[in-house]
Structure 1
Amino acid sequence: MIRAALLLCLALPLVGCNTVPLADTPTRAKISDSTLPPMKAFASPHPSAPTRSNANIAADFLSLHFRLESGRKLDYFTRFETPVTVRVTGAPPPSLAPDLRGLLSRLRREAGIDIRQVTQGSANITIEAVSRAELRRAIPAAACFVVPNVSSFDEFRRDRRKPKTNWAVLRTRTRLGIFVPYDTSPQELRDCLHEELAQALGPLNDLYRLPDSVFNDDNVHTVLTGFDMLILRATYAPELHSGMTEGQVAAKLPALLARLNPAGTRRPAVPVSETPRNWIDAVQTALGPGASPVARRAAADTAARTAQSLGWQDQRRAFSHYMLGRITQASDPEAAQQHFRAALSYLSRDPNTRLHAAYVVTQTAAYAIATGDGAQALREINPALDEAARSENAALLSTLMLLKAEALDLTGHPDAARSVRLDSLGWARYGFGSDWAVRAKMREIAALNPQNRGRG
């Protein structure tokens, strides 16, 4: 799958996966010497257990495993049928090794997958670190991706249009290649590891309807969630095996999920509408590369109208408003704030969307700071900080902290502002990477504060 590199996606807090064939490829940094504080890392994961009905989760499981992102149907369930080995090649930056160790540990502990890293010889999954330029030349919209039956980027380029790299003809999985950028931030690299390794092991599809999963092209969740681990645990349950049809898997899921997630059997199923292709296409036009500003606005309007006509009340409706807010904030900031408020209204209805709301808060709090209302900014920022930390999103956490520092300055607390600003920088180094990127984010947020205008 491909981890998409969307121009205005939620993963970029401020005014800032497909297989071969390319329509079916799934998707999601060296650290220099620095005068900034040392880079921080999250100590331990805190995934929340899924809160939906097993009947809904079963439908999600089938959609994730028997469809590709393009909508193409898969005839057979596939997974690895042996213990899985992983090898890293290419030019991995220092942050990759600890993040990969942590991810493999979680997969063993939470998903029950027999998976380990090897340092030489062949492996079931090869993770090759290459440059972003090489990745973009191969698949322009991809931040990273996974391909079947290859073990190197050279092999992928040579065989990318051959049947061996076509997910639709697989009957089981034995060898896959994951290609990630070495010249990006530690967080972006970690996010690629989580999504692409999960899709190498299990689901190949992404679903916009999922509020609590990395298997969603909105890129809100950056590390594997409790729902994702349940899906992977079910994928490797003894009741299933490669080569099963959708009907055969569907027949096994009720008892399987009752065993793995007994709480889900007591929750009633809720109706969930499918995401139509025209909404997905509109989102990709509005947020992806290449479209003109006029085309982006028209596509965002189309997505919002579609969401309204379908009566959505979930994070997809909120996402439509969020897009319109991002696209209109330069030309009509007050209208943009109305869209952000509408997004927050929809998100407030589901506790699974607190992380989505934290992203939107970066926009509403920035506006409050720009208008000199530091107290309002603090009221919005403080509840979002814990969610950003729990979700291990250093870019979002550092952005919120930098915003909080400006709000504290506005409310007459300069000492507290300096402390919060300093504390944010270690997270910013993980989230944004290079010193210049961290300093650019600091300048961008400081420029919002009316007290800083005119200081050069």
Structure 2
Amino acid sequence: MTAGRPPSSGHRIAAALRAASLAALSVVLSIALPAGLGAGVAAAGPRRAVTSDRGPFTDAQILRGFAAVTGAAEYATSPADRIRRFEAPVRVRIEADPRLGRAGATRRAMVEAVVADIGRGIAHLDLRLAAANEPANLTVRLVRRRDFDAAVAGVFGPERARTILARLAPLCVSGFARDDEFRITRAAAILAVDVSAFDVRDCAYEEILQALGPSADTDAIPWTMFNDRVRTGRFGRYDRYLLNLLYHPRMAAGTPPAEARAIAAAVLPEVRRRVETRPEAGHRRSPLGGRAVPEFRH
């Protein structure tokens, strides 16, 4: 790095996460797959209409999903079966690579809308964009697809990047650092944004939400975006149940699985009332003025 020049966003995120590792924190990665997944990847398959995430859902279906997405994450660097979540306000900074040109501003506006929708959709989480001089603990980096692999290696390290990129062909990735009490202290997401508006929105929702704690992907729950086969491009009702359970005041970082399930069952009636009386904002049309975006699976 040239003396006197400010560090790039990638260097800042990487340095922060490396510092977290030195403090005995663990980093958990989550991955979203692109629509055009190539042959040879297990998750690839023909596109089909996504199973509706609008319900109605039984208590058992919601609680099963909550247990699935808050369980151990595939890329965790240490045991992670307890509840992981932010216990402090979440301030989000969006950093667009200047090489995106005018598209960077357009995609930034899309991601800002996603952040606002998530902030409205989770009752007991203080989440919003960081002000200009305000420190951020969740950074979302927007890059060109051709620069994505290098960005992932720069933030999460070459070895882990090779594992992810050799196995999958993701358009986006996120991770977080947690302390010994399972409190998330810092998170980062990288999104390739010179792709379709639907892919940008779908990635932004999944990666920002997974950076909040539900980092375990599941193939068993067909209504959640945390299923790699599901593409919705919005914060649907089913996932609003799950995130509102995770951030309910009776839940806490470090809660063991059995206790977390009992708390979730106890507060579910309250969460149902909250979610069902505040319908999702929905992003059925592209902010770029295109046609309504279909839901699909790949």
Q: Same fold per TM (> 0.5)?
A: yes
Q: Which of 131, 141, 147 lines up with 1:128 in the alignment?
A: 141
Residue 61 of structure 1 aligns to a residue whose secondary structure is: helix
Q: Give yes or no for the alignment of 1:2 onto 2:31.
A: yes
Q: Give yes or no for the alignment of 1:51 onto 2:79.
A: no
2:83 alignment partner in structure 1:
77
CA shift for structure 1 position 231: 0.8
2:92 alignment partner in structure 1:
86
Q: Structure 2, unaligned stretches of length 5 or more?
A: 1-29, 151-160, 276-281, 294-298
Q: Distance in 2 between matches of 1:222 and 1:11?
A: 18
Higher helix share: 1
Structure with more relative contact order (C-alpha pairs < 8 Å, separation 6 or more):
2
2:267 alignment partner in structure 1:
256
Higher strand share: 2
CA shift for structure 1 position 105: 2.6
CA shift for structure 1 position 188: 1.6
Residue 105 of structure 2 aligns to a residue whose secondary structure is: coil
Q: Distance in 2 between matches of 1:125 and 1:181?
A: 17
Aligned residues with identical type, % of pairs: 24
Show CA shifts across 1:98-152 (max 9, x none).
3223222322322223111023443010011123233235442221101224xxx
Q: Which of 139, 142, 147 lines up with 2:170 in the alignment?
A: 142
CA shift for structure 1 position 257: 0.8
* Distance change in 2, residues 1:11/1:129 (3 Å): farther
1:97 alignment partner in structure 2:
108
* Distance change in 2, residues 1:102/1:127 (3 Å): same
CA shift for structure 1 position 180: 0.9
Q: Give yes or no for the alignment of 1:66 onto 2:71.
A: yes
Q: Distance in 2 between matches of 1:236 and 1:247?
A: 17
Residue 171 of structure 2 aligns to a residue whose secondary structure is: strand
Residue 213 of structure 1 aligns to a residue whose secondary structure is: coil
Supply the AA of the counterpart residue of 2:33.
A
2:254 alignment partner in structure 1:
243
Q: Distance in 1 between matches of 2:121 and 2:142?
A: 26
- TM normalised by structure 2 equals 0.65
**Structure showing greater Rg:** 1
Q: Structure 1, unaligned stretches of length 5 or more?
A: 14-46, 150-166, 265-389, 395-424, 432-456
CA shift for structure 1 position 203: 0.8
On the 8 A contact 1:88/1:128 being kept in 2, the answer is: yes
- TM normalised by structure 1 equals 0.44
Supply the AA of the counterpart residue of 1:251.
A
Q: Give yes or no for the alignment of 1:189 onto 2:200.
A: yes
Q: Distance in 1 between matches of 2:33 and 2:210?
A: 14
Q: Distance in 2 between matches of 1:224 and 1:130?
A: 23
On the 8 A contact 1:66/1:73 being kept in 2, the answer is: no
What's the Cα RMSD here?
3.3
Q: Distance in 2 between matches of 1:263 and 1:120?
A: 33
Supply the AA of the counterpart residue of 1:58.
L
Q: Give yes or no for the alignment of 1:116 onto 2:128.
A: yes
